[in-house]
Amino acid sequence: MELPSFIKGFEEAIERPAGTTDADLPLDQIGEWDSVSVVAFIAFADLTYNAAVSADDIEKCATVRDLFETARRRAG
């Protein structure tokens, strides 16, 4: 799992314009980040990386990099 490809997939999953996301971007500064995006992210992590990420896992994340690290830890 590589960070650049993760970010690209993350942007697609939450319908964020391509190339507008930095790994250290706080999730609370992403306008598209809402409950629907959380579900979309969970599906993206599962389908793309076979990562069982829970809502509790996501709640502990502050940045896109945190999501990446969580998905990487949960990848099966």
Angle, vertex CA 2, rays to CA 42 and CA 34, nearest 5: 30
Question: What are the structural domain ranges in the chain?
Answer: 3-74
Cβ distance 51 to 75 under 8 Å?
yes
Ramachandran angles phi, psi of 69, nearest 5°:
-65, -40
Token pair of 76 as six digits: 């099966």
Average pLDDT (16-34) is: 96
**Confidence class of residue 76 from pLDDT cuts 50, 70 and 90?**
confident
**Res 1: pLDDT:** 82
Query: Spelled out in words, what is the top-level CATH class assigned to the domain 3-74?
Result: mainly alpha
| pTM score of the predicted model | 0.94
Distances 53 to 20, 23, 65, 68, 69 between C-alpha atoms, Å: 23, 18, 14, 10, 11
